[in-house]
Chains A and B, each alone.
Chain A
Amino acid sequence: MGSKQTVFTHEQLEEYQDCTFFTRKEIMRLFYRYQDLAPQLVPLDYTSCPAVKVPYQLIGSMPELKDNPFRQRIAQVFSEDGDGHMTLDNFLDMFSVMSEMAPRDLKAYYAFKIYDFNNDDYICAWDLEQTVTRLTRGELSAEEVTLPAPAEPVPGPCGKPCADSCVTSAHFLSFPVSVG
């Protein structure tokens, strides 16, 4: 495409194409979305690789994320310092992993990170409680959330399962979870 864009150098666009699952057009479209979030903060010329971070409040107000109960965790996982403020690289990374072209392994890896609320490489009972609470917007009663498991190893929402099966990252990835 004979694009006359002046935002990136040719080399930068090639790099982005190799490192994400997007085509040129999509990368430019994403850049303009990023730029629209904070027009006064984000320059229109990225050839000199400026170090610009868009604060989390603006990222979290994007239409794709604003109704997602995990938006804070998503922004934290993909941002550089874990605080939710994202550079353009982080932004593209996030969309690349979330796009439909990313393989399931990659998605599962990042999904594990997102659901690991306390960043300890495990999804423990507390992480599961947080997940369920956010999924149901806190409307399941407290006993329902921590319902003790019955005699067989069949769990209630946050009962025994993780204590018995120690859900580590490797375990998570090798588990035949159907993503979506």
Chain B
Amino acid sequence: MSESRGSGPPSGGPSGQQLPLQENLSLDSSCFSSPTVNFLQELPSYRSIARRRTTLLSRDKQSGTLLNPADSSSSHLEGEITENFNSQSIRKYALNISEKRRLRAIQETQMKYLSEWDQWKQYSSKSWKRFSEKAREVTRHLELWREDIRSIEGKFGTGIQSYFSFLRFLVLLNLVIFLIIFVLVLLPVLLTSYKFTNSTFVLIPLKDMDMQCTIHPVSTSGLIYFYSYIIDLLSGSGFLEETSLFYGHYTIDGIKFQNFTYDLPLAYLISTIAYLVLSLLWIVKRSVEGFKVNLIRSEEHFQSYCNKIFAGWDFCITSRSMADLKHSSLRYELRADLEEERIRQKIAQRTSEETIRIYSLRLFLNCIVLAVLAACFYAIYLATTFSQGHMKKEIDKMVFGENLLILYLPSIVITLANFITPIIFAKIIHYEDYSPGFEIRLTILRCVFMRLATICVLVFTLGSEITSCDDNTCELCGYNQKLYPCWETQVGQEMYKLMIFDFIIILAVTLFVDFPRKLLVTYCSSWKLIQCWGQQEFAIPDNVLGIVYGQTICWIGAFFSPLLPAIATLKFIIIFYVKELSLLYTCRPSPRQFRASNSNFFFLLVLLIGLCLAIIPLTISMSRIPSSKACGPFTNYNTTWEVIPKTVTTFPSSLQSVIHGITSEAFAVPFFMIICLIMFYFIALAGAHKQVVIQLREQLSLESRDKRYLIQKLTEAQQDLRDQ
């Protein structure tokens, strides 16, 4: 490409070159004749940018100079190069390989004139770079599911690939959470109970406690029917209740090793706090990269337009059908942009009457949305109270199906609500008359809120059940010890049931809906109904909400059921393979594509919302509801959180006073005010920067117009001079 243009020999720098005019230049190109281009390249701004980049940008113009070291300007360039001895940066230069080779040869000869110390530094940095590259290659092979995700990316695009990367991230997150819990809580208990180390359990008897609080009826039935094993497995009751799956198993106050006593209650609490903090930090770290990209893709239209045109094509596509799809999706996006433009014009032309009508309609529809949400929450509340109430009755007397139905009633109601409400929301949003992009975002936001709030409602219902008693017997132990002698285990059981049911539903939907649908579409495509229904599309937002829902359950449940993260890891691994198979064999790619850079940020944002919603019930149950006295590591404390103050009292007094100082109001209030001030400062700074950026942009476009005008005048003047 270079040589096709710079055909003449360079004569005293780039300004003297004559460019051959191309016949098929565009309509607007009358100003872009060759003298104009020459002038533009002589401008100091162009040259300083070219030099600043340290890439020999106009390599075409200066390729002659590289070949010909006698030229004065080339030696100036070489002077620049010799300042930068790092040979690894050659690869970043915008030159082709033969020129880079020449540059490298020059550098090597230059190296001979260096001192021995510099030579050794060069050599060692080069071999370190090689070694780190090899190490990176090896670790890349260890990356989980790399080949699968790559092939999905090639066949279905980067939007769906980002879903599977997100799923992989959750698998790793759950694995790390389980490792934390294992090391801090499970390992000492296992070591002691299986007598691997010479340690014993420390059981401190309760003092000043009403013995009624400690009664924990363990059901021991003689002959157990086989199906009750299945029910136990699915609902976490019966033989599973006493295992290390649930909180109740850890009724240990400490583990006495040879040199020290391991404080198990403290470790249990620390593990919970640790996994919540770790999840928060990891998600924030991952989303910061996506946020930066999102900031660049602002609502500024020229920028988003440029992004679509110049960065719209996915260069990783390897299949014909995917290429067709990408073409149609780009077409769709450009048409959608034009549509948005038309809508914006229409909105600008709205009369005040219409505006009032639209806003009152929106208000009314939002009230309907709130009413729908309230109805769902109330249904979940009813289902939970009904289920909890009937579970206490004689379960063995009921029939198998009825039993399971009652146990799983809350899960069933939640799933039905999550299935119906998106359809309702999608219908409602049509009448609200928003732009298409905003419609999609608002619908997704409502669905996210619906899904995640249902778990909170369930947990709060349970909480209210636990702390409410019929005849004031709560004052004895702080909770309803008749119905919930070991309430943490029962909350854990509910979370376990939710997780199992969610898993079963995902498998069932894939097996009994996706695959038959595909079979029907393939073999009975003559029926009109089937044709209308069409083949399955991989709906990214729904799937993402599904796995965020599962992860939120895991976060809430991990405190009450320490093995739940391990179950979640297995569940997500199985879901990965199931979804992959479903994608490859039953789905056709959707014409409306998610952009990867946008979607990563969106997924992590939803996950962050889930984490925040998970922290609320955990903090309330840890600090407000008294821990059960009949089971668990916190029998000797009023609430779970009390472990921390009691541990602090065992610290040396200087450390104690420091901690007391930090947690007192005298420190917290000024600290909070300073944080607020800093935040306001940054908001104001960002606003000011935005203003400056807008002004500079306007100025830039005006400047370029001025530049073109001046150059035109100059060339005309030159022309006149030459003609004379």
Contact = CB atoms under 8 A, between A and B. Distances in A.
Contacts, number: 201
Contacts of A18: 87-88, 90-91, 100, 104
A132 B91 contact: no
B356 to A, nearest CB: 26
Nearest to B319: A67
Interface stretch (B48-56, B392-400, B476-484, B655-663): B48-56
B327 A137 contact: yes
Nearest to A168: B40
B26 A154 contact: no
A125 interface: yes
Nearest to B301: A154
B32 A170 contact: no
B315 A98 contact: yes
Interface string B23-37: 011111100100001
A165 to B, nearest CB: 5
Interface in A14-31: 15-21, 23, 25
B331 A67 contact: no
B311 A118 contact: no
B297 interface: yes
B285 interface: no
B707 interface: yes
B182 to A, nearest CB: 35
Given A23-B137, A131-B309, A176-B303, A147 B338 contact: yes
B96 A89 contact: yes
B305 to A, nearest CB: 6
Contacts of B648: none
Given A20-B97, A124-B28, A136-B330, A119 B1 contact: yes
Contacts of B307: 177-178
B581 to A, nearest CB: 24
Contact of B26 (A126, A150, A156): A126
Given A135-B313, A168-B40, A178-B297, A125 B91 contact: no
Interface in A124-180: 124-129, 131-132, 135-137, 139-140, 144, 147, 150, 153-157, 161-166, 168-170, 173-180
Contacts of B2: 82
Interface string B297-320: 100011101110111111101111
B29 to A, nearest CB: 6
B84 to A, nearest CB: 14
B273 to A, nearest CB: 37
Interface stretch (B211-219, B584-592, B698-706): B698-706
Contact of B4 (A25, A119, A139, A174): A119
A178 B3 contact: no
A96 B96 CA distance: 10
A77 B26 contact: no
Contacts of B22: 118-120
A154 B310 contact: no
A170 B25 contact: no
Interface stretch (A2-10, A34-42, A52-60, A107-115): A107-115
Contacts of B100: 18-19
A173 to B, nearest CB: 7
Interface in A75-110: 76-83, 89-90, 92-93, 96, 98, 102-103, 105-106, 109-110
A155 B91 contact: no
B317 A132 contact: no
Contact of A67 (B87, B101, B104, B320): B320
A136 B28 CA distance: 23
B296 A15 contact: no
Contacts of A178: 293, 296-297, 307, 311, 597
B148 interface: no
B407 interface: no
A121 interface: yes
B597 A67 contact: no
Nearest to A163: B28
Contact of A180 (B53, B311, B318): B311
Nearest to B331: A136
A119 B27 contact: no
Interface in B89-113: 90-92, 94, 96-98, 100-101, 104
A62 B335 CA distance: 31
Contact of A154 (B5, B40, B101, B302): B302
Q: Which 9 A-B residue pairings sit nearest by Cβ, starting from the closest?
A: A126-B26, A67-B323, A82-B4, A82-B1, A89-B97, A19-B100, A166-B704, A170-B49, A136-B331
24 contacts: A67-B317, A68-B315, A76-B1, A81-B4, A82-B3, A93-B97, A98-B315, A106-B92, A118-B25, A120-B32, A120-B37, A121-B37, A122-B32, A124-B32, A136-B330, A139-B327, A139-B331, A153-B701, A154-B341, A166-B707, A168-B46, A175-B303, A177-B311, A180-B597
